[in-house]
Amino acid sequence: MSPEVSSVVASSPDLQIPVRKKPFYTALWVQVLIAMAGAVVFGYLSPAHAVQMKPLGDAFIRLITMIISIVIFCTVVTGIAGMEDMRKVGRVGGKAILYFEIVSTLALLIGLLVGNVVKTGSGFNANPATLDAHEVAAYAGRARTQTLTDFFLHIIPTTVADAFAKGDILEVLLVALLFGFAIAAARNRCKPLLNVIEATTQAIFGVVNIIMQAAPIGAFGAMAFTVGKYGIASLGPLAKLIVLFYLTSLLFVLLVMGGIARFAGFDILRFLIHIKEEVLLVLATSSSETALPTLMEKLEKLGCSKSLVGLVVPTGYTFNTDGTSLYMTLAALFVAQATNTHLTLQHQLVIFAVAILTSKGASGVQGAAFVALVGTLMVVPSIPVAGMALILGIDRFMSMARALVNMVGNGVATLVVARWEHELDASTLQQRLFVNAPLSGETPHGA
């Protein structure tokens, strides 16, 4: 800037120099969308080469999952240690669990209702004896009926290091809660440790921002593999089930979550626009875990406290599996109808009751919902588990919608609990939703 211009600006404080807007194609969500579109075309034209793109998607997912444990640990510890009222942690956790159970149970019921009304499997007339259930047997080996005691014992890691090594969200959350309470109880003596964890949090979210620059590459690899491996043509015979599941998922988000959001004082469509990068990323990778770090960051920028986000989001990834719940009851009925298996009301109630437990912990990991569904059907002997071979080929396409509904549901749940806790008012939330929060934060995380 020349001295003359500088003097004019200095003498005219109201004079504003126009800021050049960045080209639209530099936005991450645009790059991811372009990558997905290119991947679909590439997968359709050259399936063999598209399948070879799988390592790109896998590498990106591993980069994200690599840091999820430390993100959750640092966020929860610093959040709890910074809270004055320790009773709030228990109160927030209790409200979150209550919300999760109500909404995910409602999703199971809706899936059951839609499956009974539409009957997508009717007329399929599949003979279980002729189906190749070899691949399903591998999933059946991983699936087993889990008791409530097993579930709670699973939350406790063998060692602290084991929780981080396995990357189990609930185990890491338990360790983080214990550390958070311990640091809060000895606030002055543990202040140096808390400072280190807070500094680590800043660095970790810096790493997240760096990794997210590779999101278009990861999205391209994952989507190209999906289309190349399974092909658009593979959707034909089961198009009715796929369309029904996507339509049910869409209506669940717009009507059920939309109604909850409106009651909480915000608009679901504005929220979806606000997290468009996460929406596209989950669709491309078929995993809700890839969006977890940036979703937590955006929820904090909307006004939710760090401690609340750290408690609700990780817990929701296990307990608040709305998309998985919709899928499990709907798919279970499809398999029964396709194999001409008559289900009594008692059978359906058993499926519903078992699914309440087996659906937990199926979020975020590719294929986990399929394993949970196999485990559910094994409890009802009249339904041939071999029938799962019918939908194994389209599970990757189904998992896109499952993961997306799970991720959106956890975002909505966090805002609802934050409103419930009076952490932010409706007008402020609506105003912030109209501001597109950048993915790579322009302000330090937690500032």
- What whole-number distance in Å separates Cα of residue 300 and Cα of residue 296? 6
Rg from Cα positions in the chain: 23
Please give the angle made by the CA atoms of 354, 358 and 360, to the nearest 5 degrees.
130
pTM, 2 dp: 0.81
Residues with pLDDT less than 50, the chain? 1-16, 364, 437-447
Backbone angles phi, psi at 379, to 5 degrees: -80, -20
What CATH number labels 26-433?
1.10.3860.10
CA neighbor of 354 nearest in space, from 162, 203, 148, 206: 148
Task: Give residue 38's pLDDT.
Answer: 92
- What whole-number distance in Å separates Cα of residue 357 and Cα of residue 136? 21
- What is the H or E stretch that residue 301 is in? helix 292-301
- Scanning 143-252, the segments in alpha helix (DSSP H) are 148-155, 160-166, 169-185, 191-211, 215-230, 239-251
- Which DSSP string corresponds to 255-291? IIIHHHHHHHTS-HHHHHHHTHHHHHHHHHHS-GGGG
DSSP state of 156: S
- Domain residue extents for the chain: 26-433
* 422 dihedral zone (left: phi>0; alpha: psi -120 to 50; beta): left
- What is the H or E stretch that residue 346 is in? helix 345-358
Query: How would you class 22 by CB atoms within 10 Å of its CB: exposed for 0-12, middle for 13-18, buried for 19 or more?
Result: exposed
* 210 dihedral zone (left: phi>0; alpha: psi -120 to 50; beta): alpha
CA neighbor of 416 nearest in space, from 98, 89, 79: 98
Task: Give residue 446's pLDDT.
Answer: 40
Task: Give residue 22's pLDDT.
Answer: 72
Residue for token digits 């999933």? 139
Residue for token digits 């029964």? 336
